[in-house]
Structure 1
């Protein structure tokens, strides 16, 4: 295995020192990130946990190996569909009733906490997968060359290497999805950590 491809121990150590959940909380709190993630979720159908996972890797100078991530993506999407999305739908359905009923408001708050716990579990499973040592397959690798267009790089990672949503709208203006990706990229520190 060539040295440029060998997983850099400094990058891997950094990944181990910054739990994905901690990264996600800090990153999500940055200006515009929450709105960007929700745009990618609601308008592009992307999984916010996977978005945060790829941002976490990128912040350490790493990326998921595309062929390896496809199987775990199916597992994580299954979790999202069967657990998180169900809780999110319940929480959203109770929004109007909660405004006028304290008991429903308390129930909605409990469901919101359960939804957050489901997201945390999903992120922990992404992290475990990334840090697993497999003899026959690598999960993550160094980003050998910093991408010239990080938004496009992230979009490809999230859409299995294919473009699934448009970068420009009908009048050649950036789509909401592209604007959301660009917001995330602006908040990632490209000079942070080993590259």
Structure 2
């Protein structure tokens, strides 16, 4: 398992089925960065509690709303038009790069938030359900795909 969250996230996301699972969860309102962070915390055996979930959400929600979502929205708005316009396609690719950097920055912030939390807890850690919120109820299969992928990262 990768020790830093970014490397872990890249390794997990590259595994079969993970991208689709993440997109299903995202369409149901979950943050992919929070899901990947939750997997990382589960793999590290960090105890999940309400206060910690709240801390991670407080880091994620404003950054996602103010930085990641506007970039993603613009990128998606340009998708069809960019197919026929090479200049716009290049700009769209730059937006995609910025979106990825914004997600990397968020993962770094999440890792910093969780940095002092002790590892190897004896208690069960159910981060994915806690961080997915209502999206967890609709996407049990997606959560299962993520957990399987994380064990091989």
Task: Give unmatched runs, 5+ long, in structure 1.
Answer: 1-13, 133-138, 148-152, 168-174
Structure (1/2) with the larger helix percentage = 2
Distance change (3 Å), C-alpha of 1:166 and 1:48: closer
2:147 paired residue among 181, 185, 189: 185
Q: Per-residue deviation at 1:140?
A: 4.9
Alignment of 1:30-179 (within 5 A): 30-43=15-28, 45-132=29-116, 139-140=117-118, 142-146=120-124, 153-159=126-132, 164-165=134-135, 167=137, 175=138, 177-179=139-141
Distance change (3 Å), C-alpha of 1:145 and 1:75: closer
Task: Give unmatched runs, 5+ long, in structure 2.
Answer: none
Larger radius of gyration: 1
Equivalences, count:
153
The alignment's TM-score, normalised by the length of structure 2, stands at 0.88
- Secondary structure of the 2:151 match is coil
Q: CA RMSD in A?
A: 2.3
The alignment's TM-score, normalised by the length of structure 1, stands at 0.70
Residue by residue over 1:34-61, the C-alpha shift from the partner in whole angstroms, topping out at 9 and shown as x without a partner, is 1111110112x01111100010111122
Q: Per-residue deviation at 1:69?
A: 3.1
Cα distance in 2, alignment partners of residues 187 and 143 from structure 1: 22
